[in-house]
Structure 1
Amino acid sequence: MARYFDVHPHDPQARAVSQVVALLREDGLVAYPTDSGYALGCRLESHTGADRIRAIRHLGDKHHFTLMCADFAQLGQLVRLDNAPFRAIKAATPGPYTFILPATKEVPRRLAHPKKKTVGVRITDNRVVQAILHELGEPLLSSTLILPDHTEPMTDGWTVKEELDHVVDAVVDAGECGTEPTTVVDWSEGFPEVVRVGAGDPDRFA
């Protein structure tokens, strides 16, 4: 049965954040709210997290996982950035965008796309997520919580708890969160290609 944490959306309680981080450090899988709906998250080094996410969402091995980063400096350690994407992505973060870029050696090979060697990265301004990331001290391996028979991400913490009670270790509820998934921009070929239009304005990458 999943632990349930009811946290303040703007001033998350330090004790609750510490307990969530402790579960993550013990190889836990957590459902947490972002500015673009709920996501599933675990440590990059988790031995089971990626497979558990694939099982919950019915994903194949070509799925692009997202690395949720605390800030741009952390993001820059995980993906290779030339000057043009560096400036454009820095200007758009934090925000409701996911960027697909070539992974660096800091990213475990099993988490990158098997052929393209790319990975998704993003920075959210959600205060609960930022509190978790800063206490954890590393990015979260993450995937938007869209169930196999749904087209939109889950947005209500208690519903997430009821649906996933026996397949995740914790649910973090901070009230209402965003309802649209991120806009996904593939920059792996050296130029931006919007591959999914979501909450972020796609025109800045047109």
Structure 2
Amino acid sequence: MSDLVTLRLDADAPGVARAAEILAEGGLVAFPTETVYGLGADAANDRAVARIYEAKGRPSFNPLIVHLSDIEAVQRLVVWSEPAERVAQAFWPGPLTMVLPLREDARVSRLVTAGLDTLAVRLPANPTARALLNAFDGPVAAPSANPSGRISPTRAAHVLEGLDGKIEAVLDGGRCGVGLESTILGLTGKPTILRPGRVTSEDLGRVLGRPVLERKDRDKISAPGQLASHYAPRARVRLNAAEWREGEARLGFGDEPCDLNLSRSGDLVEAAANLFEYLHRLDASNAEVIAVAPIPHVGLGVAINDRLSRAAAPRETP
């Protein structure tokens, strides 16, 4: 049993300052971004990064996203390019991660990249995240702050459900607004969506002036968030439920009777913001199955369906 006591820090100046101190000391701090809560560690500290994998039970071949405070800090870690500059100017800070070639002199632990010669980098927009990154003044490695493979956290309480006693602190900035992990764009070759999110392929195509590809090799891990089974509740998930079955917890979309509704008006932005929150709530009901209504596979619906398909995938562990 761990004797570590996880602090719950307010998202004010003293709380942010204490969180930055913990990171500098090699500790782990969960913090809010506009997407989900991240589990942060000093990305240059091998031991601190190793503790992320330990706390989450995360496979060591699954790389991490590095969060930074400004583009100049990003450019010290990766090989910058004209497409990267276009994307950064359009979408940073915001819910977008870019995968770029790692600089030879980059000051990050090799555990962050899982041995790859690329690095996933992001500038979050959430004010609390930005305050923490500015206070720490260094790269922060941060996957989602939950046990590996489970539902991503959109509130501090979700973090504590899975990681209480395993990390030093959670910086409580309230509920995350977007509610889905960031879009991941690979820019080491042709622009490719490695993980869909709030920023869509259509959005990126307009900025880059060319179509953006979708990842084809589903067996190769080239960026965070690509495991087949991921974002999963304890309950089994049944997708595209055209009708409800007795005993199921019902997650609806559109104007229909259900236990919780992602968006009665059919708004995909609202549905994305509610997805993980409502999966947490329905899982807490101890239902054996969560049935999910069909979600349109267009725009942000592509990202929602990506998360749901991973939540419903066969699991290698109980």
Deviation for aligned residue 1:66: 1.0
How big is each residue's C-alpha offset from its partner over 1:12-71, in whole Å with a ceiling of 9 and x where there is no partner?
x21111111111111110111111111110112324222222123333333221110111
Contact 1:113 1:119 in 2 (8 A): no
Counterpart for residue 10 of structure 1: none
What are the equivalent positions in structure 2 for 1:31-50 lying under 5 Å apart?
Answer: 31-50=30-49
Aligned to 1:75: 74
The residue that corresponds to 1:84 in the other structure is 83
Q: Deviations over 1:110-168 (max 9, x none)?
A: 13241x41110000111001111111111211112343342x41112123124211111
Matched-pair contact (CA < 8 Å) for 2:93–2:123? yes
Change in Cα spacing, 1:145 to 1:87, as seen in structure 2 (3 Å) is same
Q: How many residues align?
A: 198
For 1:83, the aligned partner's letter is E
The answer to whether 1:53 aligns with 2:52 is yes
The runs of 5 or more residues in structure 1 that have no matched partner are: 8-12
Q: Which amino acid aligns with 2:7?
A: R
Higher RCO (CA 8 Å, separation ≥ 6 residues): 1
**Unaligned 5+ runs, structure 2:** 205-211, 213-318
- Counterpart amino acid of 2:106? E
1:174 paired residue number? 173
Alpha-carbon distance in structure 2 between the residues aligned to 1:109 and 1:43: 9
- Equivalent residues in 2 for 1:133-148 (5 A)? 133-148=133-148
Aligned to 1:29: 28
Distance 1:16 1:196, change over 3 A: same
Letter in 1 for 2:113: A
- Quick one: percent identity of the two aligned structures? 25
Letter in 1 for 2:121: V
Distance in structure 2 (CA, Å) of the matches to 1:91 and 1:165: 37
TM-aligned CA distance change 1:169 to 1:93, over 3 Å: same
* Cα pair 2:147 2:163 within 8 Å, conserved: no
**SS class of match (1:64):** coil
Q: How far is 1:91 from its partner?
A: 2.0
> CA contact under 8 A between 2:44 and 2:107: conserved in structure 1?
no
TM-score by length of 1: 0.88
Q: Which has the larger radius of gyration?
A: 2
1:96 partner amino acid = P
TM, length-normalised to structure 2: 0.59
Higher strand share: 1
Whole-angstrom CA distance in 2 between matches of 1:146 and 1:200: 23
Between 59-68 and 27-36, the greater mean CA deviation after superposition: 59-68
One-letter amino acid of the counterpart of residue 58, structure 1: G
Give the Cα–Cα distance (whole angstroms) in 1 for the partners of residues 109 and 188 of structure 2. Answer: 16
Q: 1:113 to 1:204 in 2, by over 3 A?
A: farther
Task: State which drifts further: 16-25 or 103-112.
Answer: 103-112
Could you tell which deviates more after superposition, 56-65 or 17-26?
56-65
Asked if the contact 2:41–2:52 (Cα under 8 Å) also holds between the matched residues in 1, the reply is no
One-letter amino acid matched to 1:169: E
SS in 2 for 1:48: helix
Report matched runs for 1:90-129 at 5 Å.
90-104=89-103, 105-108=105-108, 110=110, 111-114=112-115, 116-129=116-129
Is the partner of 2:194 in helix, strand or coil? strand
Matched ranges for 1:15-26 at <5 A:
15-26=14-25
